Amino acid sequence: MADKNEFRNPDAILDIKDRPKILPWIGLSLQHLFTMFGATVLVPILVGLDPSIALFSSGVGTLLYILITKGTVPAYLGSSFAFITAIQSLMGSSGYPAVAQGIIYSGIVYLIVAFIIAKAGSDWIDEVLPPIVVGPVIMVIGLGLAQNAAENAMFNEGNYDAKYFLVALVTLAITIFFNMFLKGFLSLIPILLGIIGGYLFALIVGIVDLEAVKAAPWFQVPDFQFMFVDYNFHFSLAALISMAPIAFVTMTEHMGHLMVLSKTTKRDFFKSPGLKKTLFADGLSTIIAGFIGGPPTTSYGENIGVLAITKVHSVFVLGGAALLAILFSFVGKISSLIYSIPTPVIGGISFLLFGVIASSGLRILIDNQINFDKKRNLMITAAVLVIGIGGAYLKIGNFELSSMALATVIGIILNLLLPVKARSEE
């Protein structure tokens, strides 16, 4: 249990430093593993990397993150989607060695920014990220992923499938039921139970393919690609130019997720452990992934959604999920079984997870009594929401500023430039 002298969130069932008993611990950690698994292995599949390495590097990266932040931030690091286009381009033109370099360069950018913040401080954060910016940005983080949830729920290889949507809705209904009506330990794992229930229903309606599970070996070593061992290093300017700038985009996502976590756990992670440590940990995780053949890593909104729904914020649970990810990366049948979870099951769960994140942003606006009769507040919120949720993005050459990152930048600029009152309000 946590030190009695430390702050404890009264709304949490298990707070950050609370350690659950072993059997509940395993169940809670599996819940986080199942939640992040699909997205984490999808990235390497899309870009031609080994999914088992992605699972392994996500586990190692999360444990490093927990260690560097001294167990104060309950976050899970999985594969980043922001780099997909750049990795695909580099893979086709220069091969994996260039991709690995690009991943490492992006991690180094994190370390440089973390060093600058350590020297210059982070007092500026409250100035550029007040509640009027933070609230809408958090809403964008959740609602910006709504389309992904809907597509997972409805589409079978690009075509609308009513059976898929039925599975998603049943999964959603099961999860809501478990969350509302169960007591005791079972009330802490509604996401895991929802996934299992949705999976069983998907089996009944015949959309689960178990052939890959049957064919998979029990023990399987990931096909690691170690720099200086499996291939020689040759400097790639293309890797530096195309991958390093994307780090600034994922840093924006990193800060957005840190905002949500701070709100959910009633802490201020920007002050303790501070951006210098969280960015350093995220960057080091990405560098290690590049050295062993994995994709870049980033914190996951899906797992933040689990924290918000279950009110189980224990960093031990996230660490347990990381250990299970490392273990399962070597167990072919278990990895294949988890990977066989149909997309509509994930879609049904995501309806809740992403919605809860968006609701956290709305709660920030309510708690801080943001007055929307003031034109300034209305203009900032309107611009952030529509740009972020609408999918607008800025692209210059190979550099692309995602809709979420662009919405955040626009929100910051408007907050700094707009006067407190419009002329018509004076």
Q: Give 287-307 pLDDT, tens digit per residue.
A: 999 999 999 999 888 888 889
Residue-range definition of the domain harbouring residue 112: 22-417
Q: Is residue 13 in a domain?
A: no
Query: To the nearest whole number, what is the mean pLDDT of the chain?
Result: 87
Within a domain: 156: yes
8 lies in a domain?
no
Residue 158 within any structural domain of the chain: yes
pTM: 0.79
HEC secondary structure over the chain:
CCCCCCCCCCCCCECCCCCCCHHHHHHHHHHHHHHHHHHHHHHHHHHCCCHHHHHHHHHHHHHHHHHHCCCCCCCCEEECCCCHHHHHHHHHHCCHHHHHHHHHHHHHHHHHHHHHHHHHCCCHHHHHCCHHHHHHHHHHHHHCCHHHHHHHHHEECCEECHHHHHHHHHHHHHHHHHHHHCCHHHHHCHHHHHHHHHHHHHHHHCCCCCHHHHHCCCECCCCCCCECCCECCCCCHHHHHHHCCHHHHHHHHHHHHHHHHHHHHCCCCHHHHHHHHHHHHHHHHHHHHHHHCCCCEEECHHHHHHHHHHCECCHHHHHHHHHHHHHHCCEHHHHHHHHCCCHHHHHHHHHHHHHHHHHHHHHHHHHCCCCCCCHHHHHHHHHHHHHHHHCCCEEECCEEECHHHHHHHHHHHHHHHCCCCCHHHC
Q: Is residue 5 part of a domain?
A: no
How many domains is the chain built from?
1
pLDDT at 367 over 70: yes
Question: Residue 4 has what pLDDT?
Answer: 45
* In-domain check, residue 407: yes
Residue 6 lies in a domain: no
Band (pLDDT 50/70/90 cuts) for residue 398 is low
Residue 269 lies in a domain: yes
